[in-house]
Chains A and B, each alone.
Chain A
Amino acid sequence: MNQPVISASHLDLTFQTNDGPVHALRDVSLDIGKGEFVSFIGPSGCGKTTFLRCIAGLEEPTGGTLAVNGLTPDAARRSRAYGYVFQAAGLYPWRTIGGNIRLPLEIMGFSKEEQAERVKRTLELVDLAGFEKKFPWQLSGGMQQRASIARALAFDADILLMDEPFGALDEIVRDRLNEELLKLWDRTGKTIGFVTHSIPEAVYLSTKIVVMSPRPGRITDVIESTLPRERPLDIRDSAEFIAIAHRVRDGLRAGHIDA
Chain B
Amino acid sequence: MKALGPILAVVAAIIALWYVAAVPMNIQEVLTQAERAGAVVEPEGAMNRRDVNRFALVLRNADHLGESWSMERARLPAPHQVVKELWASTWDEEVSGRRGIVKSGSLSNRSLIYHGSITLGATIVGFLIGSGLGILLAVGIVHSKTMDMSVMPWAIVSQTIPIVALAPMIIVVLYSIGVEGLLPKAVISAYLSFFPVVVGMVKGLRSPDAMQTDLLRTYNASKPQAFWMLRLPASVPYLFASLKIGIAASLVGAIVGELPVQRGGLGARMLGGSYYGQTEQLWAALLFAAAMAAILVWLIGWIEGKTLRRMGVTQ
Please choose the segment from A103-111, A179-187, A203-211 that sits at the chain B interface, where 4 or more of its residues have CB less than 8 A away: A103-111
Looking at the complex, which one of B218, B221, B230, B312 makes contact with A58 (CB distance below 8 Å)? B218
Given known A-B contacts A86-B211, A94-B312, A96-B312, A106 and B217 have beta carbons under 8 A apart? no
A57–B220 Cα distance when bound, in Å, is 10
**Quick check: is B121 within 8 A (CB to CB) of the other chain?**
no
A160–B312 Cα distance when bound, in Å, is 29
A88 touches B211 (CB 8 A): yes
Chain A residues with Cβ below 8 Å from B236 are: 94
B-facing residues in A49-65 (Cβ within 8 Å): 56-58
> Shortest CB–CB separation between residue B214 and chain A, in angstroms?
6
A103 touches B218 (CB 8 A): no
A90 touches B215 (CB 8 A): yes
Chain B residues with Cβ below 8 Å from A77 are: 217-218, 220
A-facing residues in B213-257 (Cβ within 8 Å): 214-221, 225, 229-230, 233, 236
Number of A-B contacts (CB under 8 A): 50
Question: In the complex, which of the residues B215, B218, B225 has the most CB atoms of chain A within 10 Å of its own CB atom?
Answer: B218
B313 touches A90 (CB 8 A): no
**Quick check: is B311 within 8 A (CB to CB) of the other chain?**
yes
Interface of chain A: mostly helix, strand, loop or mixed = loop
B233 touches A107 (CB 8 A): no
**Quick check: is A34 within 8 A (CB to CB) of the other chain?**
no
B218 touches A107 (CB 8 A): no
A80 touches B220 (CB 8 A): yes
A155–B236 Cα distance when bound, in Å, is 29
B220 touches A94 (CB 8 A): no
A-facing residues in B177-223 (Cβ within 8 Å): 211-212, 214-221
Residue of A nearest to B233 (CB): A94
B229 touches A83 (CB 8 A): no
Q: Mark A78-99, 1 if CB is under 8 A from B, else 0.
A: 1010111011101011111000
A96–B229 Cα distance when bound, in Å, is 13
Looking at the complex, which one of A90, A95, A106, A108 makes contact with B312 (CB distance below 8 Å)? A95
Q: How large is the interface on A (under 10, 10 to 19, 20 to 34, 35 or more residues)?
A: 20 to 34
Interface of chain B: mostly helix, strand, loop or mixed = helix
**Quick check: is A131 within 8 A (CB to CB) of the other chain?**
no
**Quick check: is B315 within 8 A (CB to CB) of the other chain?**
yes
Given known A-B contacts A78-B220, A92-B230, A107-B221, A86 and B313 have beta carbons under 8 A apart? no
A84 touches B215 (CB 8 A): yes
Looking at the complex, which one of A80, A87, A92 makes contact with B233 (CB distance below 8 Å)? A92
**Quick check: is A135 within 8 A (CB to CB) of the other chain?**
yes
A103 touches B211 (CB 8 A): no
Looking at the complex, which one of B211, B214, B229, B311 makes contact with A107 (CB distance below 8 Å)? B229
Question: In the complex, which of the residues A87, A93, A96, A137 has the most CB atoms of chain B within 10 Å of its own CB atom?
Answer: A93
A-facing residues in B268-314 (Cβ within 8 Å): 311-313
Question: In the complex, which of the residues A57, A80, A83, A104 has the most CB atoms of chain B within 10 Å of its own CB atom?
Answer: A104
Chain A residues with Cβ below 8 Å from B313 are: 93-94
B214 touches A104 (CB 8 A): no
A95–B312 Cα distance when bound, in Å, is 7
Query: Other CB < 8 Å A-B pairs besides A57-B217, A92-B229, A107-B225, 19 of them?
Result: A56-B218, A58-B214, A80-B220, A86-B211, A88-B211, A90-B212, A92-B230, A92-B233, A93-B312, A94-B236, A94-B311, A96-B312, A103-B219, A103-B229, A107-B216, A107-B220, A107-B221, A107-B229, A135-B312
A contacts, CB < 8 Å to B: 56-58, 77-78, 80, 82-84, 86-88, 90, 92-96, 103-104, 106-108, 135, 137, 155
Q: What are the 10 A-B residue pairs with the smallest beta carbon separation, nearest first?
A: A94-B311, A135-B312, A84-B218, A107-B221, A104-B219, A107-B219, A94-B233, A93-B313, A78-B220, A86-B211
The 10 sampled A-B contact pairs (Cβ below 8 Å) are A58-B217, A77-B217, A77-B220, A80-B219, A82-B218, A84-B218, A94-B236, A95-B312, A104-B219, A107-B216
